Amino acid sequence: MNLIFIGAPGAGKGTQAELVEKEYKIPAISTGQIIREAVREGSELGKQAKSYMEGGGLVPDEVVINIIKERLTHADCQNGFILDGFPRTVPQAQALDKMGVRIDKVVDLETDDAMIEARLSGRRVCDKCGASYHVTGRPPKQDGICDRCGAALAIRHDDEPEVVRNRLKTYHTQTEPLKQYYEAQGKLYTVQSQEKVDDTTALVRKALES
């Protein structure tokens, strides 16, 4: 199954994608995670992307399109994949279509902006493997330590309140039009993001099995 997860920052895309990855045994591909790694390594891609990401804006379409084009050639995508955070603009979605990549379902995780700031202020991420936690909603077993790989957890720079407001603005203007794009293709499944992760997962599962 080839899936796309869209939704505002903090809607739970990454968390749900990770759970679906385990259940369906298909890789969850996060462009945000790939870009953060590149910034940390100081690679050419990282240098190009850093300022956009830190301000809460989007990295240029051609840069992320090339990342995805390359990533989808990996052998682990043979039985399907979950795109978490790509596409984020209509031109990115058109690029996927042009590449001939078949998309089966697009899960749209709906939230309201008020919920987002509270969620993101408690988010902690593992820089090493990308796992995501929340201090109250989804705490790690050991404070500040990643359950999956044992590395230290950190607060993302772009989870600062001012950057979050920019990211939300970017989402509403540039990413939300994707809902119409995929609705027109009959692929959009809207899921209301719930307070509890498990409750959202149940709704996501229902959408994927429908």
Please report, as a single letter, which amino acid is at residue 23: E
**List 105, 119, 123, 124, catalytic entry:** 123
Residue 88 annotated in active site: yes
Which lies closer to ligand AMP via its Cβ, residue 119 or residue 167? Answer: 167
Among the listed residues 31, 193, 200, 201, the single contact to ligand AMP using CB under 6 A: 31
Per the annotation, the verdict on 167 as an active-site residue is yes
Q: Is 53 in the site for ligand AMP (CB under 6 A)?
A: yes
- Binding range to ligand AMP, per CB under 6 A, among 53-61, 69-77, 106-114, 142-150: 53-61
Asked if 111 touches ligand AMP (CB under 6 A), the answer is: no
Among positions 4, 64, 106, 168, the unique one binding ligand AMP when judged by CB under 6 A:
64
Name the one range near ligand AMP by CB under 6 A: 26-34, 38-46, 102-110, 181-189. Answer: 26-34
R_g (Cα) of the chain, nearest Å: 16
Instruction: Give yes or no for residue 9 binding ligand AMP (CB under 6 A).
Output: yes
Q: 205 an active-site residue?
A: no
Q: Provide the binding-site residues for ligand AMP, judged by CB under 6 A.
A: 9, 30-32, 35, 52-53, 58-59, 64, 85-88, 92, 158, 167
So which residues are the catalytic ones?
Answer: 13, 88, 123, 156, 167
